[in-house]
Amino acid sequence: MTLDATHDPDLKSWVESADGHPEWPIQNLPLGVFSTAGKGARIGTAIGEKILDLRAIAERGLIEDEDVAEALRSRVLNALFALGADAMADLRARLSVLLSDEAHRAEVEPHLVAMDATEMQLPTHVGDYTDFYVGIHHATNVGKVFRPDNPLLPNYKYVPIGYHGRASSIRVSGHPLVRPSGQVKAPDAEVPVRRPSARLDYELEMAIWIGEGNALGEPIPIEEAGQHIAGYGLLNDWSARDLQGWEYQPLGPFLAKNFLSTVSPWVITPQALAPFMKPMKPRPDGDPAPLPYLTGGEEKCALGVRLEVLLTTAKMREAGEAPYRLSKGEADAAMYWSAQQVVTHHASNGCNLQPGDLLGTGTLSMADEDGFGSLLELSKAGKQPIALPNGETRTFLEDGDEVTLVARCEADGAVPIGFGKCAGQVLPARG
């Protein structure tokens, strides 16, 4: 992605709340799906404290590309994503003009909706969901818990590892998490028992939304992988670690993961992220080079995104206390494999990716403890409780806890942008 007029740091919007907004200045223009009282789901873009109804402006002839205008009449982003990267870039350019040029204000302003009067929906119909394992620090830390003698399996540095997740249980930020129940087996027990999970965890991940798909049997070359990414978001792949420890061999995650995955509602486009992308960090000395099909592509393919995880307990909310930051870090420092490598590998056997599919990066942990992306790591698998400022402690999540993921991009010469929130509160188990 190259920089253009939409990235100009001097560009201003006539929307009063946009200029200087910490997340939604005119340089961002994310895509999402929202609804309001009495109206169904529509596609929109965030601008300051407002959402521009893109269906409405398309129906009034303000979007010149007929295919794009038709896709904006949908209730999800799949049809728009299917049009490809060029169409997405053209839409961004058009919205930038409409929201910055005073000449368009009279015809556009009536279609702005107050953000606090809306309810956000899933941005796509998620046909498929694959979760990867690109965070090498997390993979090593978790491996030490489940395989102390062999934490990082030998294929990790050759293969972008992933598993097929459950698309039906993906929900947008704010949807509550019902504590899952399942089989667990204590190390000294002869047989397992079924009970509510006592080791409920979050996972700090980034979402990769697929744009233009590929035909069955046709791989995606690494040089073209970026053109198949429609955007990025935040993802919390909630995990029941006690269920996971018993069930994960020999076929990997199942009931420990598929009860809920939470995504942030706004899709941050690759065009918006262009000023913040970085080269991938060099692999450590002695690590193998990626195989040729995973080598090459865009030079700046690492996500320059600052990530944070915040926790509030029921007691903290009752007392009006601020959230406690569990961790912070940079996505590019955690990722051993890039988003482009993940896309290329997924399609390398001819698997057909489809517009609106969701890929997860896997947990993004930093090398240092203050950047660990899960409680499993922070609490040393439950052996070292985390002390909260109000005197409470946590090893894993308790009922009433709320976890919020946030992200922000900053770079010299660029206007900072945000991702919005990816939040969920834990409710007691049922049944």
Alpha-carbon distance 77 to 265, whole Å?
12
The answer to whether residues 268 and 233 touch, using CB atoms and an 8 Å cutoff, is: yes
pLDDT of residue 431: 76
From 7, 138, 228, 345, the catalytic residue: 138
pLDDT of residue 118: 97
Listing DSSP states for 22-72 in one string gives: SS--TTT--EEEEEETTEEEEEEEEETTEEEEHHHHHHTT----HHHHHHT
Alpha-carbon distance 317 to 269, whole Å?
34
pLDDT band for position 211 (cuts 50, 70, 90): very high
Give the length of the chain.
431
* Weakest mean pLDDT among 44-48, 53-57, 150-154, 334-338: 150-154
Q: Is 21 exposed, middle or buried (CB count within 10 Å of its CB: 0-12, 13-18, 19+)?
A: buried
pLDDT of residue 251: 85
Contacts of residue 207, Cβ cutoff 8 Å, sequence gap at least 6: 232, 233, 234, 235, 263, 264, 358, 359, 360, 361
pLDDT tens digits along 263-294: 999 999 999 999 999 999 999 999 999 999 99
Mean pLDDT calculated for residue range 339-360? 98
pLDDT band for position 143 (cuts 50, 70, 90): confident
pLDDT of residue 2: 86
Catalytic (active site) residue 104: no
Please check the confidence at residue 153 and state whether its pLDDT lies above 90: no
Task: State the average pLDDT for the chain.
Answer: 96
pLDDT of residue 150: 74
Q: What percent of the chain has pLDDT over 70?
A: 100
Please check the confidence at residue 147 and state whether its pLDDT lies above 80: no
Q: Tell me which architecture the domain covering 129-427 has in CATH.
A: Alpha-Beta Complex (3.90)
The answer to whether residues 383 and 241 touch, using CB atoms and an 8 Å cutoff, is: no
Where along the chain do the CATH 3.90.850.10 domains lie? 129-427
Please check the confidence at residue 379 and state whether its pLDDT lies above 90: yes
Pairing relation of β-strands 129-132 and 358-360? parallel
Where along the chain do the CATH 2.30.30.230 domains lie? 5-121
Q: Which CATH class is domain 5-121?
A: mainly beta
pLDDT band for position 248 (cuts 50, 70, 90): confident
pLDDT of residue 146: 74
Alpha-carbon distance 332 to 344, whole Å?
18
pLDDT tens digits along 182-205: 999 998 999 999 999 999 999 999
Q: Which of 59, 48, 42 is nearest to 23 (CA)?
A: 48
pLDDT tens digits along 164-188: 999 999 999 999 999 999 999 998 9
